[in-house]
Chain A
Amino acid sequence: MKKKEIRVCIMRVGGTNCDAETKRAFDDLGVKAEIVHLNEMVKKGNLLDYSALVFPGGFSYGDYVRAGAIWAKGTLTNLRYDLRRFVEEGRPVLGICNGFQVLVEAGLLPGFEGISEYPEAALATNVPIGYHCNWVYVKHESSGQCLFTKEIQKGKVLRMPVAHAEGRFLFPKEKENDYLKRLYDNDQLVFRYCDENSEYANGAYPINPNGAFHDIAGICDPTGTIFGLMPHPERAYYGWQLPDWTKGGRMPKYCDGKSVFESMVEYLRKKS
């Protein structure tokens, strides 16, 4: 696909609030991205006009019930068949923060057997409890399956901010080991919280900012075309967004989050 043919849909509903900066990242890469309200899309029925779908961060519908739950149900109820086809055709779906919560609630992630009827994981209330906004380090774990991190070396440590109250990735206790093994077997594990020296957090706060199981910050589905993460790559796009860019030397023009969007665009460019 030629770059100018790519059309990214950044979906939003009431309470979505990271759509503009997410669009800005695609704008910067010279890719057309449109912010579309779910209701508008339902009215037009045009999901399949887009090459990629992004669920950005925010507090969709106030995050009542559980974070992302209402948006997930709203999307499935109205767009189930289009969404299934969208996914089956290998069109990328990205969920950031609240968007990750939506993908898990909608059964798109981890999606061991395709889209599941019930969520197979959860993004539970942070431990320690409360909203927490801070920069974290994550280690890239994918061996190449995840299309959103194709341009990133395995083992590389990236720096991005988190800002959420419900980001503790969990599997059902009795299936924890089984599911974790499947994540590894399928190369679905993408980002894990670590320190700046690439040592895993092992659950220790604040290196792991929410108590996530196995320090999981982001996973993809078995095909690598659906990806969700708690940190915000769109807030770690430009060098001046870094929390300490004033520290000596020249300010970098970009920072780590850019590679997520670049990988995505690169994949679309190569896709027929």
Chain B
Amino acid sequence: MSLYAKRNVPFELFEVNLLDADDKQLLQISGEMGIGLNLNEMKAVQRYFSRKKRNPTDVELQTIGQTWSEHCYHKTFKGNIATPKSEIRSLFKTYIAKVTNELNPPWCISVFEDNAGLIDFEKGYAVAAKVETHNHPSAIEPFGGAATGTGGVIRDILGVWADPIACTDVLGFGPLDYDYEKLPSGTKHPRYVFRGVVAGIGHYGNNMGIPTVNGAIYFDESYVGNVVVYCGCIGILPMNRFVKNTRPGDVAVLVGGKTGRDGIHGVTFASAELTRKSEEVSRPAVQIANPIEEEKLKRAITRTRDEGLGSAITDLGGGGISCATGEMANRSNCGVYVELEKVPLKYPGMAPWEIYISESQERMLLSVPEKNLQKVLEIFEGEEVEATSIGRFTDNGILRVDYLGQRVAELDLHFMFEPPRVRRNAKWKEPDYEEPYFPEPENLTYDVFKLVASLNIASKESVVRAYDHEVKGNTVLKPLHGRYGGPNDAAVIKPLSDSWKGIVISCGMNPNYGKIDPYWMAASCIDEAVRNNTSVGGRRVALLDNFTWGNPEKSDRLGSLVRSCQACYDFAKGFRTPFISGKDSFYNESPLGPVTPTLLITAIGVIPDVKKAVSMDVKQPGDIIYIVGQTYPELGGSQYYQLRGFIGKTVPKVRVDKARKLMDSIIKAIDSRYVKSCHDLSEGGLAVAAAEMSFSGGYGMALRLENVPRTEKMSRNDFLLFSESNSRFLVEVPEKRREDFETLMKGNVYAEIGRVKKDSYLSVYGLNDEKVVDASLAELRNCWRSALGG
């Protein structure tokens, strides 16, 4: 039996003999057509077409494959998961959306349902936020993968009619000195990947004129085969211009770049493991970036918005036109009719299915009422951007696609958007790490130097300066602060000329903790993201979740995912911080093994008056240094253990009620202007935070560990200095504000541990009053700045 029959038409169109196919052949079809559907899903498709009493075309099968892919439909998060204890119906609803539903803050305008989350900001403006993953393409082609990741997330912001005003990027690479001999064929060296990804992100953001203001870079052995690329974008829009209301009769207008063969099967590729062959097989899945096209697109879209000419908008990302038309029609309970030959192509000879699912960049779809069409086309022409009517929305709930007068697809939208639920098994097994024992060094100066120069802590200046973080002239608190480029905890943007209100952007990521327990990793990520926001004066925080995990069909990977989702619920709820948007990337597995599960939490806060924002550099000799928050013997997964080759077991926990209260108090102190500088304690603990504050401000510090609030068991100087317990801050307060500050902090754990001093040394006195750290600021700064090339 032949599975494919070419239709007698003057172009490439195949009918797939699905009705007669047995199970084996169903899978064969899925494999040969590269649509990545499993047997259960293929059977659902077969049943649908038996009811229709006909075989599908290649266009139809490809469309279903795109729409039902992990990348587009998030089957793992929406599916059923059996754990040893219970059955979870949708991780997303059970843990992520539940936080937002239960908190239900009035300032959340639109969450999860759109291209980006929307929260209320000021004077009728809303802030839009979205963070994307672009791991798979960046592994194959680092520059193009990262550039199109940035381009894609910016289009997500445009996809809610917002003006993109800031980008973030959080990256994970293998060790830059990784042994070439150990690299499997088809895997690129971390240094090559690193350079390409950084250049790609800069290329897009800089060219488009969007400042890249926040980010992080993390190094881990598992990222050698599975690079992690998170691209985020923040936008702003006047809420009265937000419209998503496509009506039957509206015209489907495709705007932006031409369609080519770049980006075919991007979503199915992103929903599979990377293999030695990914390079040859999937290279066409990576798109080609043209940021200037998107800059022009942005101008035309914001003008169309301001003149109120469109009825809806969405970006063309995964699945290309097939997903965008279907989703837009489905959202407004319409149908849609597409004339595929109208799509402007980069070159002739593309088959209809290729045109329909291509993920070529810089394209968006608008629905436009007929009466506004001419005006819209003129606006785009004025910006030298192509705009083409490719079809029309209908009222019949059906997706119909013609090519040169031939029907090439006809699918019921409700079928397309109700794929069979997947059912998966999850079982987390606690790893058997042990707490290491090693003698306490007498002097810790050397360890402080080693830590500030370790790659996860060292300055990322060489990368940050390759991004424009000043364009638009609204960056109030920059990623690198002052003359020494101090690492601010969060960025502050002042987006409106006539308001002092600012947007505060920060993030949290701790993959090392997840190796011990993904539950506490997620808790720590949330705590870190929120406390970074707090440090500069941010509050009313909304969260975005991004998951990079391995193959979810393997129960241990899924087990760890479930655990981290449980923590997402517990701690986002505890901090009263709703999730507003998220994105997951699975199948991050390479010949070297699975990725270290990596959760990124991005926090978007606000500050009522940017003039009160606080930076992390110490300001004035004589000021008091307080530590706020309790220190526990929690060194599992810490940078200090890692330095000694251990991982340990005592992963940092979060005591959320205390943490929330403490952060509220810090915000009050900042608003009252008692705080001159504030820095959170994260990787490298107290020692690194103090060093960073000191060498960024240019003044030394003298600290006494004896005063640090701690549990009774803690009797080692190194543990006190390097523990990574969550919810802790170092705060600089002038002597004259001592009483005010202490009154405000009542009920929280805090203590005065030292002073800012005139000389340029960081001096730390241990529990027996002996000097355990004595480090010159110039040398510390030098180690910190030069480790990653500065």
In the assembled complex, A59 has its CB within 8 A of some CB on chain B = yes
Q: Are A40 and B382 in contact (CB under 8 A)?
A: yes
Q: Are A14 and B611 in contact (CB under 8 A)?
A: no
Bound Cα distance A27, B497 (Å): 10
Is B33 close to A, CB under 8 A?
Answer: no
In the complex, what residue of chain A is closest to B483 when comparing beta carbons?
Answer: A244
Interface code A224-266, partner B: CB below 8 Å = 1, 0 otherwise? 0000000010110110110110111001000000000000000
Contact between chains at A131 and B206 (CB < 8 Å): yes
Smallest distance from the beta carbon of A240 to chain B beta carbons, Å?
5
Interface assignment of A62: CB less than 8 Å from any CB of chain B: yes
Given contacts A14-B384, A130-B466, A132-B465, contact A240 B611 (CB under 8 A): yes
Q: Is there an interface contact between A163 and B473, defined as CB atoms closer than 8 Å?
A: no
Picked from A61, A131, A134, A240, the residue with its CB within 8 Å of the CB of B610 is: A240
Contact status B470-A232, CB under 8 Å? yes
Q: Check A24 for interface membership: any CB of B closer than 8 A.
A: yes
Would you call B206 and A59 a contact (CB within 8 A)? Answer: yes
Given A15-B295, A37-B383, A131-B206, check contact A235 B470 (CB 8 Å): yes
| Nearest CB on A from B415, distance (A) | 41
The answer to whether A163 and B292 touch (CB under 8 A), given A237-B473, A244-B482, is no
Mostly, the A contact residues are: mixed
From 1 to 24 in chain A, residues with beta carbon under 8 angstroms from any chain B beta carbon are 14-18, 20-21, 24
A61 and B474 CA atoms in complex are apart in Å by 24
- The segment from B125-133, B134-142, B241-249, B613-621 that touches chain A is B613-621
**Chain B residues whose CB sits within 8 angstroms of the CB of A29 once the complex forms:** none
Chain B residues with Cβ under 8 A from A134's Cβ?
A: 465
Q: Residue A204 at the B interface, CB < 8 A?
A: no
Q: A153 an interface residue at 8 Å Cβ cutoff?
A: no
* List of B residues within 8 angstroms of A243 by Cβ: 478, 480-483
Inter-subunit contact B296/A14 (CB<8 Å): yes
Q: Which residues of B contact A14 (CB under 8 A)?
A: 292, 295-296, 383-384
- B473 pairs with A21, CB closer than 8 A: yes
Say how far A12's CB is from chain B's closest CB, in angstroms. Answer: 9
B619, A247: Cβ atoms closer than 8 Å:
yes
- A39 contacts B292, CB within 8 Å? no
Complex Cα gap A17–B207 (Å): 8
- Enumerate chain B residues within 8 angstroms of A61, measured Cβ to Cβ: 292
Known A240-B610, A243-B478, A246-B613: A163·B470 in contact at CB below 8 Å:
yes
Q: Which residues of A contact B291 (CB under 8 A)?
A: 59, 62
Q: A247 contacts B470, CB within 8 Å? A: no
**Residue of B whose beta carbon sits closest to that of A15:** B292
Interface SS of chain B: helix, strand, loop or mixed? Answer: loop
CB distance from B133 to the nearest CB of A (A): 25
Known A-B contacts A59-B206, A240-B494; the reply to A17 vs B613 at CB < 8 A is no
A92 at the interface (CB under 8 A from B): no
Query: What residue of chain B has the Cβ atom nearest to residue A237's Cβ?
Result: B473
- B208 interface residue (CB < 8 Å to A): yes
Closest to B474 in A: A21
Residue B15 at the chain A interface, CB threshold 8 Å: no
* A237 to B464 Cα, complex, angstroms: 22
Check if A248 sits within 8 Å of B465, measured CB to CB. no
- Complex alpha-carbon distance, A251 and B609, angstroms: 13
In chain B, what residue has the closest Cβ to A162? B470
Chain A residues with a Cβ closer than 8 Å to the other chain, count: 37
Task: Give min CB distance, B361 to chain A, whole Å.
Answer: 14
Given contacts A15-B295, A59-B207, A247-B617, is CB(A39)–CB(B382) below 8 Å? Answer: yes
Cβ distance A23 to chain B, nearest Cβ, rounded Å: 10
Nearest B residue to A62 by beta-carbon distance? B292
Chain A residues, Cβ within 8 Å of B615: 244, 246
Docked CA distance A204–B776 (Å): 26
Query: Is A58 in contact with chain B by the CB < 8 A criterion?
Result: yes
Q: Judge whether B471 and A17 touch: CB under 8 Å.
A: yes
Q: How far is the CA of A133 from the CA of B211 in the complex (A)?
A: 10
A211 interface residue (CB < 8 Å to B): no
Contact partners of A132 in chain B: CB under 8 A: 465-466
- Chain B residue contacts of A163, Cβ below 8 A: 206, 468, 470-471
Q: Is B175 an interface residue (CB 8 A)?
A: no
Minimum CB–CB distance for A159 against chain B, Å: 11
Nearest opposing residue in chain B for A163, CB measure: B468
The contact string, 1 if C-beta is below 8 Å from chain A, for chain B 467-508, is 111111111111011110000000000100100000000000
Instruction: Check A161 for interface membership: any CB of B closer than 8 A.
Output: yes
Judging by beta carbons under 8 Å apart, are A133 and B469 in contact?
Answer: yes
Compute how far the CA of A14 lies from the CA of B295 in the bound complex, rounded to whole angstroms.
7
- The complex places the Cα of A240 from the Cα of B493 at a distance, in Å, of 11
Assess whether B475 is in contact with A133, with CB atoms less than 8 Å apart.
Answer: no
Chain A contacts of B383 at CB under 8 A?
Answer: 14, 37
Give chain B residues whose Cβ lies under 8 Å from the Cβ of A130. Answer: 466
Closest to B482 in A: A244
Q: How far is the CA of A130 from the CA of B463 in the complex (A)?
A: 11
In A41-58, which residues have CB < 8 Å from any B CB? 57-58
B633 in the interface, Cβ–Cβ < 8 Å?
no
- In the assembled complex, the Cα of A101 lies from the Cα of B700 at a distance in Å of 44
**Chain B residue nearest to A234 in the complex (CB):** B473
Annotate A57-83 by CB proximity to B: 1 below 8 A, 0 otherwise.
Answer: 111011000000000000000000000
Residue contact B470 to A133, C-beta cutoff 8 Å = yes
Contact of B472 among A21, A37, A247 (CB under 8 A): A21
Nearest CB of B to A97, in Å: 10
B202 within 8 A of A: yes
Chain B residues contacting A131 (CB-CB under 8 Å) are 202, 206, 466-468
B419 in the interface (beta carbon within 8 A)? no
In this complex, which of A18, A27, A234 has the most chain B Cβ atoms within 10 angstroms of its Cβ?
A18
Interface assignment of B209: CB less than 8 Å from any CB of chain A:
yes
The residue of chain A having its C-beta at the shortest distance from the C-beta of B295 within the complex is: A15
State the CA gap A17–B613 with chains docked (Å): 27
8 Å CB contact of B497 from A16, A24, A161, A241? A24
Q: Which of B292, B476, B497 contacts A59 (CB 8 A)?
A: B292
A131-B202, A243-B478, A247-B482 given as contacts; is B466 within 8 A of A235 (CB)? no
Q: Nearest chain-B residue to A60 (Cβ)?
A: B292
User: Given the known A-B contacts A17-B208, A62-B207, are A241 and B471 also in contact in the complex, defined by CB atoms under 8 Å?
Assistant: no
Q: A239 to B384, alpha carbons, bound, how many Å? A: 37
A246 to B292, CA, bound (A): 35
Query: Which of A37, A57, A234, A241 contacts B382 (CB under 8 A)?
Result: A37
Residues of B within 8 A of A237 (CB): 473
- CB contacts (< 8 Å) of B292 on chain A: these are 14-15, 59, 61-62
Residue of B207, B208, B382, B619 with most partner-chain A CB within 10 A: B207
Determine the distance from Cα of A40 to Cα of B382 in the docked complex, in whole angstroms.
8
A133 to B: closest C-beta gap in Å: 5
Q: What is the distance, in angstroms, from B469's C-beta to the closest C-beta of chain A?
A: 6
State the CA gap A235–B494 with chains docked (Å): 13
Chain B CB within 10 Å — which of A15, A27, A232, A251 has the most?
A15
Q: State how many angstroms separate the Cβ of A56 from the closest Cβ of chain B.
A: 10
Instruction: Report B258 CB to chain A, min CB distance, Å.
Output: 16
Q: Bound complex: CA of A53 vs CA of B480, how far in Å?
A: 34
Known: A21-B471, A232-B473, A234-B473. 19 other contacts (CB 8 A): A15-B295, A20-B472, A27-B497, A39-B384, A57-B471, A59-B291, A59-B292, A61-B292, A62-B291, A130-B466, A131-B466, A131-B467, A131-B468, A161-B470, A163-B470, A235-B473, A244-B615, A246-B617, A248-B676
Residues of chain B at the chain A interface (Cβ within 8 Å): 202, 206-209, 290-292, 295-296, 382-384, 464-478, 480-483, 494, 497, 610-611, 613-615, 617, 619-620, 676-677
What are 18 contact pairs spanning A and B, CB under 8 A? A14-B383, A24-B473, A57-B471, A131-B206, A132-B465, A133-B465, A133-B468, A134-B465, A163-B470, A163-B471, A240-B610, A241-B470, A241-B475, A241-B476, A243-B482, A244-B481, A246-B617, A248-B619
A-B CB proximity, top 6 nearest: A17-B209, A244-B482, A21-B473, A246-B615, A62-B292, A15-B292
